[in-house]
Amino acid sequence: MAGKQMEMTGAEMVLQALKDNGVEHIFGYPGGAVLPIYDELHQQEDVEHILVRHEQGAGHMAEGYARSTGKPGVVLVTSGPGATNVVTALQDALMDSIPIVCLSGQVPTSLIGSDAFQECDTVGITRPCTKHNWLVKDVNQLSRIIHEAFRIATTGRPGPVVVDIPKDVQFATGIYTPPSPVIEQKSYQPKVSGDLDKIRAAIELMATAKRPIIYSGGGVINSGREASQLLRELVELTGFPITSTLMGLGAYPASGKNWMGMLGMHGTYEANMAMHDCDVMVCIGARFDDRITGRLDAFSPNSKKIHIDIDPSSINKIVRTDIGILGDVGHVLEDMVRLWRASKKTDRSQLADWWTRIANWKTRNSLAYSSNPDVIMPQYAIQRLYELTKDRDTFITTEVGQHQMWAAQFYGFEEPNRWMTSGGLGTMGYGFPAAIGVQVAHRDSLVIDIAGDASIQMCIQEMSCAVQYELPVKIFILNNQYMGMVRQWQQLLHGNRLSHSYTESMPDFVKLAEAYGATGIRCDKPADLDDAIMKMIDTKGPVIFDCRVAALANCFPMIPSGKAHNDMLLPDEASDEAVANAIDAKGRALV
């Protein structure tokens, strides 16, 4: 045992364990089954509690907090509805590999299974949407389990965990054990360093490449700032072009000379064409998600593939890889950079033809849109927001939909941990609470939630939380009165029959902000946009910015369902007819 053993109640243990694991902030909502823990919270000052307005908000706040700091986010909810409300955020964190420790209250052990008031089978419900979960029935196991929960959430491929604590266990007295540096657990041993022989083989393969590409993902961000630095070094040493998934934006700077833009369904033409035509693909901390690969049997048909991932089940899951390296991205990149430095002199002329082809694809200008002097184009709004905030200490979160893709396309990220978005699960309502979580960790930074008019209404109640804790989060709504991405797909798939994707009754967002005690700003003229954005930035408290944009703009380029990377729908070709016929009968069944 590392430290002193102490006798205390279960509720005291929870607070002690949080402190011992370095927790400074938790997001939660009280209720009957967690009252003993809330009573302890009340009697201390080390851990700051942020009172949310809905448990889903607590989960997303913890995600934003975790993603922007690299530390685990902690959530405290009550039994029954408290636990079920946080499920969406847990699944979101599972799919995007975000470390979350969720503590939930449970009815007393004597009542478990009796359909008691506010009882639900929390471990049963959260089993498939957590990395691991526990029901603590013995107060003497509580501290060990909480320490283990932090270890499992933050090591290996990070993810959410749930510790379900019955009320009688919170009241019971037992022995507290501090975190031990010696790990007793035998079954869970994530592998950190990669196999050197495989890394050498990868280096050999990369050195022979004539048309290489690096495809990096959220794993680089999760691995820590060092990993992003090593990725930049590897790109510099090899001279390879680099693209990234939605989750990986910022690991390599958008201003870097080898940057190709995001790849995938709404990625750039050059990134997708290069993925399709490459001869060596180096996938670093990404998982060949279906938004990335497009049609699988036509995915990068002539390339050798190297895949670095900490999760063995990610390797060879979707795409057969030639060299699969199991390990933490940061460790593997360190070896790669060292070995490349020691042995390889990059022959840049070998890549000259490839870079010429890439330059050619870039001239296709796949993110082009027609500007309009009278109506704000959504792409233009993001561009102006970027220009006016890029030199500040800025964090961006998003909701889910067209605005999310435009943000990914038009906002340039220079550093990791600056971009928080719901990639895997695609959770509308994620962005605003996530922004609050970011702001809690970075009080003096500029935190902006780029939102859509539909998404923002899914967790708007947290405005009350932002006002209460004086968290000056800015919500920048691209308001087109539609669920834009739903409408875009209805245009693509369903003969432009816009079934329930138009919001007939929209709140007055300016008045809504004022009702919460925040500031509302509206802008509908391109000429006024810069001043309005500056006003938003200069406002001390939270702001809802209602940016009225072109209602029918769509998000291009796009790889329609069932199509390959080299079969993109580009903005200048996307006539109404091309859109209506882009997806054939076979592609229609796909999501």
We find the least distance from the C-beta atom of residue 311 to another protein, in angstroms, to be: 7
| Distance of closest approach, residue 188 Cβ to another protein, in angstroms | 5
Alpha helices in 79-171 (DSSP H): 81-85, 87-95, 122-126, 139-154, 167-171
Distance of CA 211 to the CA centre of its chain: 30
Q: Is 186 near another protein (CB under 8 A)?
A: yes
- Asked whether position 183 contacts another protein by CB under 8 A, the answer is no
Rank residues 49 and 132 by Cβ distance to another protein and give the closer one: 132
Report whether 378 contacts 401 (CB < 8 A): no
**Which one among 43, 313, 363, 499 touches another protein, defined by CB under 8 A?**
313
Residue of 6, 71, 118, 233 marked active site: 118
Closer to another protein at the Cβ: 44 or 180? 180
Q: Which of 69, 164, 64 is nearest to 471 (CA)?
A: 64
* E strand or H helix that includes residue 498: none
Minimum CB separation of residue 184 from another protein in Å reads 12
Q: Which residue has tokens 């102006």?
A: 384
Is 291 one of the binding residues for another protein (CB under 8 A)? yes
Question: What x/- string results for residues 317 through 356 when contact with another protein is judged by CB under 8 A?
Answer: x--x------------------------------------
Q: 107 with 116: CB under 8 angstroms?
A: yes
The rounded distance, in Å, linking the Cα atoms of 575 and 578 is 5
Is 167 marked active-site? yes
Alpha helices in 212-368, H assignment, sequence order:
218-222, 225-238, 269-277, 290-293, 329-343, 352-362
> Which letter does DSSP use for residue 376 in this model?
B
Catalytic: which of 12, 40, 55, 270? Answer: 55
From 50-58, 204-212, 312-320, 406-414, give the range in contact with another protein by CB under 8 A. 312-320
Query: Burial code of 163-189, b = ≥16 C-beta within 10 A, e = fewer?
Result: bbbbbbbbebebebbebeeeeeeeeee
297 sits near another protein (criterion: CB under 8 A)? yes
Q: Is 484 in the site for another protein (CB under 8 A)?
A: no
Smallest distance from the beta carbon of 124 to another protein, in angstroms? 7
Catalytic option among 485, 536, 558, 568: 485
* Catalytic entry in 48, 117, 191, 573: 117
Q: Is 294 in the site for another protein (CB under 8 A)?
A: yes
Taking CB atoms within 8 Å and a gap of at least 24, the contacts of 345-348 are 346/207, 346/237, 346/238, 346/239, 348/239
> Residue 157 CB, nearest distance to another protein (Å)?
8
Out of 3, 19, 113, 127, which residue is the one contacting another protein (CB under 8 A)? Answer: 127
191 is a site residue for another protein (CB under 8 A): no
Total site size for another protein, rule CB under 8 A: 31
Structure tokens at 473: 């989060």
Per the listing, tokens 């990404």 go with 286
Tokens 């308001």 sit at which residue? 479
Residues 378-397 that bind another protein (CB under 8 A): none
Binding span for another protein by CB under 8 A among 119-127, 208-216, 364-372, 492-500: 119-127
Following DSSP, what letter does each residue of 205-255 receive, concatenated? HHHH-SSEEEEE-HHHHHT-HHHHHHHHHHHHHH---EEE-STTTTSS-TT
By CB under 8 A, name the binding residues for another protein.
123-124, 127-128, 131-132, 135, 152, 186-188, 290-291, 293-297, 311-313, 315-317, 320, 561-562, 586, 589-591
Query: Which are the catalytic amino acids?
Result: 55, 117-118, 167, 485
